[in-house]
Structure 1
Amino acid sequence: MKEFWASVLDFAKEITNHVGSQLLPDFRQVQASQKADGSLVTKADHWADETLRRAIASRFPSHGILSEEGEHRFPDTEWCWIIDPLDGTTNFTRGIPIWGISLGLLYHGTPVFGYVHFPPIGQSFHGFWAGESGLPDIIPGAFMNEFSIHSSPDELSSNHFFNLCSRSTSLLQQPFPCKIRMLGVASYNFITVATGAVLGGMEATPKIWDIAGAWVIVKAAGAVWVSLESDPIFPLKAGQDYGGRSFPTLIVSRAELVDVFKSYIQQN
């Protein structure tokens, strides 16, 4: 399996670098249209999605694929890649340089490898996490540009950051104990907790392609992923359509802060 994981990492690095380099000339240059759920999509999203799906099918023909711009029904395969070909399309079209390409590899419905590449800022993140997948030979770890990362051990203070999506603002009680930041990219929101840059983050309506790659990195970095629904997110179920489903999520740097941050969230 060591050779397999090396090939998975090499593949993820190569294909996201290739896609990212091709997307950069379109950064702030393309027009977007609105999808049924209100999110934006561009020709760049579609091109990146097709390129990623084609590359995965060529390198790992037995693996299933679920992607934002393609098939949303989870396949009945041992392995499945979940793709977000351009996380942060609004930032991409408006000229804000935080957007990325996210890949998550799932084993029997549970993420075990994640890779997220942010071309404009030159940051790439990856992680391995066996969790409850049943795979015995994964050495957990989270990395940024090949350097190990870990969530912050800091105590809560008003000089620390907490990330939000725009749909989460109405759910927080005020005054809030941290400075609030809004980045516009779900995966980067999550991953900044893994790097130790912020103490927590919340997304009210992330989709499974926003989550799959970052979930592994967050868990491997020692942060805590809290589903704000009663049912766990993983494992995903074969045959189920995940296109319209959201997974309200709280990410916290360490377990001791979970109840602290949850006390500020007004759940519907």
Structure 2
Amino acid sequence: MPTPIDQIRDAAIRIAEQASAVPMSYFRAAFEVDAKADESPVTIADRETEAFIRKALAEAFPDHGILGEEYGISGSLDGETWIVDPIDGTRSFITGYPLFGMLMGFLDGGTPKLGLVRMPALNETFIGIPGQGATLNGTPIQTRKTTDLGEASIYINEPDGIRRSHPELFERIWNVGGTRRAAYDCYPHALVASGQIDICVDFGLQPYDYLPLIGLIEAAGGIMTDWDGNRLDMKSEGHVIAAATPELHAAMLPHLQR
């Protein structure tokens, strides 16, 4: 039998909030920074945070699969599966910038059933269950109702990567909308879900970066796909857009064509 979603939600909130103590014990303190094979940074805080989350999930749901950034796959990913990014925004974390997050997603048969963004330094927990709504620290949230792209507030994540790889595309998207900001990591997606901004364009993500966000965005009333408008899964390219309304999503997609 499927695990009751209320049980999943309560465990996700509890584990994420308890796990927050791990990165906060290292935040703005002295520690070594290592480089992965792709030259991205990783710290003891990343590893210890994921280890804490994995242990808690294994104790609560021993039959569930887990995919995490630091320790890979445990169990099968075909059924009930957790996706974990222990510190989304390690560069922010190691430079003392408080907008690093913790991501947890729950999928069943590849379909997102829950998405959570925990911001340890801000003490904020965003969580959503598609069909049941989304909350921020227990208070209901929803996406904005903006439909006119010219009025939209747009955050463009990983702007340096987009500009290097797709300079013409970058110029296009930097000239649409009413307000634009360059940004990084998961918090702009949480701002879409909570109705603070309208669109977040992101680039070069891995499954553990985007899969936990889908449930939150959809639960809040938004839409999240790749740049071609396709649903996201384990094999997606990782260039994504989160939009507050279907109208904004449809209006933004032509600007993202390469």
Q: In which range does the TM-score fall when normalised by the shorter chain?
A: 0.7 to 0.9
Change (3 A) 1:116 1:155: same
Of 162, 172, 197, the residue aligned with 1:168 is: 162
RMSD: 2.4
Q: Which residue of 2 aligns with 1:154?
A: 146
| Alignment match, 2:227 | 228
Contact 1:31 1:93 in 2 (8 A): no
TM-score (norm 1): 0.84
Contact 1:156 1:178 (8 Å CA) reproduced = no
Whole-Å Cα distance in 1 between the matches of residues 21 and 10 of structure 2?
17
Ranges of 4+ aligned residues in structure 1 off by more than 6 Å = none
| Kept after mapping to 2: 8 A contact 1:165/1:184 | yes
CA contact (8 A) 2:22 2:48 kept: no
What letter matches 2:18 in structure 1? Answer: H
User: How many Å apart are 1:105 and its aligned residue?
Assistant: 0.8
Most deviating of 5-14 and 87-96: 5-14
Please report how far the alpha carbon of residue 218 of structure 1 lies from its aligned counterpart in structure 2 after TM superposition. 0.3
CA shift, 1:233, in A, is: 2.1
Amino acid at match of 1:259: A
Residue 135 of structure 1: aligned partner: none
| 1:157 shift after superposition | 6.8
Instruction: Measure how far apart 1:175 and its partner are.
Output: 2.5
Match of residue 55 from structure 1 = 56
| Structure-2 change in CA distance of 1:74 and 1:256 (3 Å) | farther
Q: Deviations over 1:187-210 (max 9, x none)?
A: 222221111111101111111111
CA 1:176–1:41 in 2, change beyond 3 Å: closer, same or farther? Answer: same
Contact 1:32–1:40 (CA under 8 A) maintained in structure 2: yes
Displacement of 1:73 in angstroms is 8.2
User: What is the match of residue 46 of structure 1?
Assistant: 47
Where does the alignment leave 5 or more consecutive residues of structure 1 unmatched?
A: 130-138, 237-241
Distance (whole Å) between structure 1 residues aligned to residue 120 and residue 49 of structure 2: 13
Choose between structure 1 and 2: higher strand proportion. Answer: 2
1:264 corresponds to which residue? 255
Q: Contact 2:203–2:240 (CA<8 Å) still a contact in 1?
A: yes
Task: Give the AA of the match of 1:55.
Answer: A
Aligned residue in 2 for 1:239? none
Distance 1:157 1:203, change over 3 A: closer
Superposition TM-score, scaled by structure 2 size: 0.87
Q: Deviations over 1:98-130 (max 9, x none)?
A: 11111111101111012221011121011112x
Task: Quote the offset at 1:77 in angstroms.
Answer: 4.1
* Mapped partners of 2:66, 2:101: distance in 1: 19
Retained in 1: the 8 A contact 2:65–2:73?
no
Instruction: Specify the code of the residue in structure 2 equivalent to 1:168.
Output: I
192 and 230 in structure 1: CA distance in 2 versus 1, 3 angstrom threshold: closer
Counterpart-to-counterpart distance in 2, 1:154 and 1:232: 22
- Assess if the C-alpha contact under 8 Å between 1:125 and 1:142 holds in 2: yes
Give, as a single letter, the amino acid of the residue that structure 2 aligns with 1:101: M
SS in 2 for 1:28: coil
Partner of 1:132: none
Which range is displaced more, 109-118 or 220-229? Answer: 220-229
SS in 1 for 2:39: coil
Provide the secondary structure at the position in 2 that maps to 1:263. Answer: helix
* Structure 1 residues 76 and 118: alpha-carbon distance in aligned structure 2, compared to 1, 3 A threshold: closer
Cα distance in 2 between the residues matched to 1:230 and 1:150: 21
Aligned equivalent of 2:132: 140
Q: Which amino acid aligns with 1:149?
A: I
Q: Distance in 1 between matches of 2:66 and 2:57?
A: 8
Equivalenced residues, count = 249
> How far has the Cα of 1:32 moved from its partner?
2.0
